[in-house]
Structure 1
Amino acid sequence: MITVSKESLPDYVGMDLKATDWHSVRQQQIDLFAEVTLDHQFIHVDPERAAQTPFGSTIAHGFLSLSMLSHFAETFGIAIEGSYMGINYGFDRVRFIAPVKVDSRIRAQARLSACEEKNPGQFMLKFDVAIEIEGEEKPALKAEWLTMQMVA
């Protein structure tokens, strides 16, 4: 994560941010996500049945991949000097493009696409993010993610 002044924040719009480290998506993580979300569809949690599908194995929930943005943002994020709180503001767009098979490795690539001071000391940041799958041409997902930082 980089820290920037509120005055220099516009200079970072359009900048590709640091790619994150790769993260291995294991069956245990998929199973735990299924427990939390109560989404036990066989394609996620039954390796034997999932092996009979065109995917050939279990796949991660799309929302699991999306939820990893919170973790990945620790690397690609931008903190504004004096920020005392950051909140997830939501998404303008999310598209699940390719499945993440069990034991795949994923990472995030991000770009700051917009920033705006909505109210004094409240900065909305918009990131264009892709979750890449190692060795795959298509990303797992693409999203336009909004965050809000409160600056003293």
Structure 2
Amino acid sequence: MTVFADLAEFAGAEGTELGPTDWLVVDQPRIDQFAQATDDHQWIHVDPQRAADGPYGRTIAHGLLTLSLLPHFMHDLYRVDNVKMAINYGFNKVRFISPVPVGSRLRATATITDIVKLNGGAQATFTTTIEVEGSDKPAAVIESIIRYLA
């Protein structure tokens, strides 16, 4: 984990590469819980028997489940101390490149691609790649924006 002592130190970190994180297993209970929370019960995610005959031979995680793991990974990658708060400001771009089959292990790397000073804070753009162990292509590439209040 990279730790920035304060917003001033963080403001100079544009271009910094972070990670990788530890691996995280995406198991069927996590997929099922996400389906319950989002009311998205498509068979490719929650029906192992039917999915066995599907295009991936087993269930796969929802793309939005992969995206929802972003806070977990970002907390593992870095921290900015001595700020009042950090706010998820949104996303510029999200792409789901390859499926995440049940039982897969994921990890993330990120680059701080832009930092803009704001009155009383800063706004940072991160480009994060979530990779699937053993896959040539990432599960997702996400361009996210975080605002920090000093």
Q: Secondary structure at the match of 2:89?
A: strand
Amino acid at match of 2:144: W
Q: Which residue of 2 aligns with 1:133?
A: 132
Structure 2: unaligned runs, 5 residues or longer = none
In the TM superposition, residue 13 of structure 1 has moved relative to its aligned partner by 1.1
Q: Secondary structure at the match of 1:139?
A: coil
In the TM superposition, residue 4 of structure 1 has moved relative to its aligned partner by 3.5
Residues matched between the structures, number: 149
TM-score for the superposition, normalised by structure 1 = 0.93
Q: What are the Cα deviations for residues 8-31 of structure 1, in whole angstroms up to 9, with x where unaligned?
A: 334321111121100000000000
Quick check: 2:7–2:83 contact (8 Å CA) kept in 1? no
In the TM superposition, residue 77 of structure 1 has moved relative to its aligned partner by 2.6
Q: Secondary structure at the match of 1:83?
A: coil
Q: Secondary structure at the match of 1:99?
A: coil
Q: Which residue of 2 aligns with 1:32?
A: 33
Q: Secondary structure at the match of 1:75?
A: helix
In the TM superposition, residue 92 of structure 1 has moved relative to its aligned partner by 0.3
In the TM superposition, residue 54 of structure 1 has moved relative to its aligned partner by 1.4
Amino acid at match of 1:77: Y
Partners in 2 of 1:10 and 1:149 — Cα distance?
10
Partners in 1 of 2:93 and 2:67 — Cα distance?
12
1:142 matches 2:141: yes
Partners in 2 of 1:24 and 1:55 — Cα distance?
18
In the TM superposition, residue 78 of structure 1 has moved relative to its aligned partner by 3.8
Amino acid at match of 2:76: T
Q: Which residue of 2 aligns with 1:62?
A: 63
Amino acid at match of 1:63: L
Q: Which residue of 2 aligns with 1:115?
A: 115
Partners in 2 of 1:113 and 1:142 — Cα distance?
13
Query: What is the Cα-based RMSD across aligned positions, in Å?
Result: 1.2
In the TM superposition, residue 43 of structure 1 has moved relative to its aligned partner by 0.2
* Mapping for residues 4-83 of structure 1, pairs under 5 Å: 4-79=5-80, 81-83=81-83
Quick check: 2:7–2:121 contact (8 Å CA) kept in 1? no
Q: What are the Cα deviations for residues 58-115 of structure 1, in whole angstroms up to 9, with x where unaligned?
A: 0000000000011111111341x42011111110000000000000000111010011
Partners in 1 of 2:5 and 2:141 — Cα distance?
25
Q: Secondary structure at the match of 1:95?
A: strand
Amino acid at match of 1:24: V
Structure 1: unaligned runs, 5 residues or longer = none
In the TM superposition, residue 122 of structure 1 has moved relative to its aligned partner by 2.0
